[in-house]
Amino acid sequence: MTRAESLSRRALLVSLATSATSSALGRTPYGGRLRLAVPWPITSLEPASLSDGFAALFASAAFEPLFALDAAGNPYPTLAEALPGKLESGCRLALRPGLKTAGGRALSGADVVATLARARSRGAVGLLGELDNPSVDAKAPLGVVFPRSSPDAVARALASPLLALVPRGFSPLAPDGCGAFKVELGSGRALFTRNPNGARGASFLDAIEVTAVTDLAELLRGFEAGASDVAWFGSGLYRAVKDASPFESPRYGFAVLMPGKAAGAWGAPGTLQALLDAVPAEQLSHLGVRGLPAQPSGSRAWGGPPTTIAVPSNAPQLAAVARALAASLSTPGHELSVVEKTASEIQALQSSRQFGLLVALVRAPAAHPREVEMALRTAASPEAAKRAPKTAPLAPRELGRHLPLGVVGELSVWGTRRAPFVNLEAWQLGGVSLRPPP
């Protein structure tokens, strides 16, 4: 069996490995409703976003990329019919026939071209840096031709969740993809329901209800009150809940500290990381931040001008991190204060860079170190990310010593879940199921 064959054995083994009950016995039951709260605003679902916490957690539930990477880092086709085939110059890929979005829209090569074009102007700008613009194969509407790129480079790039396939005319306010769930967005809430057109299988759960909270305590209180099935960063605010199990999902992003023009020389590459490496872990760990240095090193005294740390409003975890950093880094005459900004204000600040410091999220689109590095480089400088060196990927905090941003720590969903929900740890939400009572 060659790698060029569709849905390779490796792919199937991976899918088997991620499906706990595919090997036996009864069958994983369909049904159930998972309710959870998130410390992120819910306004849209943009698969190509690098800075949206809600997308970092839930884009994979509603969207699928054309390829995926196995445990060894090799790509395999998911929505593509096969791995890209080499042409005399460049390469060609084709979509699987018959694919439809949750909204019932048939997908073709033109949708692949449109997906890449819109992702290039968003979080995938670094990822697509050296890939040329593709075009639809004139002979086959499901085909896409990359005029100069190598098949391997195309497959690896298109395995990124940032390049998940969306239909032409896609709007993140009314998201429509071919993942396990279809999604309806409301004000501060989202409802994911089973997508029978799911290109890699409909979800086991009937639905996932997600609500946004503005206070970290609500993440625990809701679990204790029975309004939520997941408790973040603990097992209950006042008491442990019965029939609950601890769990931790893979990291979905990083809290980062970014410098603006007002930071002056303290915004130079490596400077912020040196400060953050000196912050004791106990000052941040209670806020759910992981991946903190075991032993702080160096000085954490901010020596730059008194300035503000901007942070997105309605993102209580980031706000708490910003407040903790302000308290830890401030020194007399070099005070830092926290100011909350709306999403549009943050966007304007990032464009103009007219701010002192900014605490933000950088999504970790996948677990592969190369993709994590590309995400951090893109967040630091989209233009520089296009020309990222091809050396071995660096660990996130190590990378912070070379970039004009500092990695505060890792973000993941950890805490407690109601015991009957199975496979939540992997955070592949289509594969989560509700175990029936004995």
Give the binding range for another protein (CB under 8 A) out of 20-28, 64-72, 312-320, 395-403.
20-28
Q: Which helix (H) or strand (E) holds 192?
A: strand 189-194
Q: Show the binding pattern over residues 125-164: x = contacts another protein (CB under 8 A), - = does not.
A: ----------------------------------------
Phi/psi for 275 (5° steps) reads -65, -45
Q: Is 203 in the site for another protein (CB under 8 A)?
A: yes
- Name the strand (E) or helix (H) holding 37: strand 33-38
SS (H, E, C) 406-417: EEEEEEEEEEEE
Tokens of 376: 């951090």
Closer by beta carbon to another protein, 16 or else 265: 16
Selection from 18, 14, 27, 57 nearest residue 426 by Cα: 18
Pairing state between β 181-186 and 433-434:
unpaired
Stretch that binds another protein, among 63-71, 97-105, 283-291, 382-390 (CB under 8 A): 97-105
Residue nearer to another protein on the CB measure, 8 or 160: 8
Interface mask toward another protein for 225-254; x: CB under 8 A: ------------------------------
Does 16 participate in binding another protein (rule CB under 8 A)?
A: yes
Q: How many CB atoms lie within 10 A of CB 136?
A: 18
Q: Contact between 81 and another protein (CB under 8 A)? A: yes
85 binds another protein (CB under 8 A): no
**Count of helices and strands (H, E) across the chain:** 11, 19
Rounded distance, CA 37 to CA 228, Å? 7
Q: Which of 13, 217, 301, 327 binds another protein (CB under 8 A)?
A: 13
- Among 3-11, 38-46, 164-172, 217-225, which window interacts with another protein (CB under 8 A)? 3-11
User: In what order do the strands lie in the sheet containing 207-212?
Assistant: 33-38, 207-212, 189-194, 181-186
Stretch that binds another protein, among 54-62, 157-165, 181-189, 430-438 (CB under 8 A): 430-438
Q: Smallest gap, in angstroms, from Cβ of residue 151 to another protein?
A: 17
Q: Does 435 bind another protein (CB under 8 A)?
A: yes
Shortest CB 72 distance to another protein, Å:
17
Quote the least distance from Cβ 179 to another protein, whole Å. Answer: 12
Q: Which of 65, 134, 198, 222 binds another protein (CB under 8 A)?
A: 198
Distance CA 46, CA 49 (A): 5
Q: Choose between 12 and 348: whose C-beta lies nearer to another protein.
A: 12
Of residues 26 through 55, those in contact with another protein by CB under 8 A are 26-28, 30
Nearest to 238 by CA among 225, 256, 257: 225
Half-sphere exposure of 190 (CA within 13 A, CB side): 29
Q: Tokens 């999902």: give the residue.
A: 249
Q: Of 6-14, 51-59, 129-137, 152-160, which part binds another protein (CB under 8 A)?
A: 6-14
Count interface residues toward another protein (CB under 8 A): 40
Output the DSSP codes for 251-276: EEEEEEEEE-GGGGGGGSTTHHHHHH
Please report the DSSP string for 84-128 in residue order: PEE-SSSEEEEBPTT-B-TT--B--HHHHHHHHHHHHTTTTTTTT
- Paired with 415 in beta bridges are 232, 247
* Burial class of residue 227 in the structure, from the number of CB atoms within 10 Å of its CB (0-12 exposed, 13-18 middle, 19+ buried): middle
Binding mask 261-290 for another protein (x = CB under 8 A): ------------------------------
DSSP β-bridge partners for residue 212: 38
CB of 157 to another protein, least distance (A): 22
Return the half-sphere exposure (C-beta side, CA atoms, 13 A cut-off) of residue 88.
Answer: 0
Find the shortest distance in angstroms from Cβ 433 to another protein.
Answer: 9
Task: Report the 10 Å Cβ neighbour count for 178.
Answer: 27
Separation CA 332–CA 75 (nearest Å): 53
Question: What is the Cα–Cα distance from 241 to 27, expressed in whole angstroms?
Answer: 29
Exactly one of 73, 85, 98, 169 binds another protein (CB under 8 A); that residue is 98
Q: Is 202 in the site for another protein (CB under 8 A)?
A: yes
Q: Does 430 bind another protein (CB under 8 A)?
A: yes
Site string for another protein, 299-338 (x = CB under 8 A): ----------------------------------------
Binding positions for another protein, 351-410, rule CB under 8 A: none
Comparing CB distances to another protein, the nearer of 186 and 196 is 196
Q: Which residues bind another protein (CB under 8 A)?
A: 1, 5-9, 12-13, 15-16, 19, 21-28, 30, 81-82, 96-100, 180, 196-204, 430-431, 435
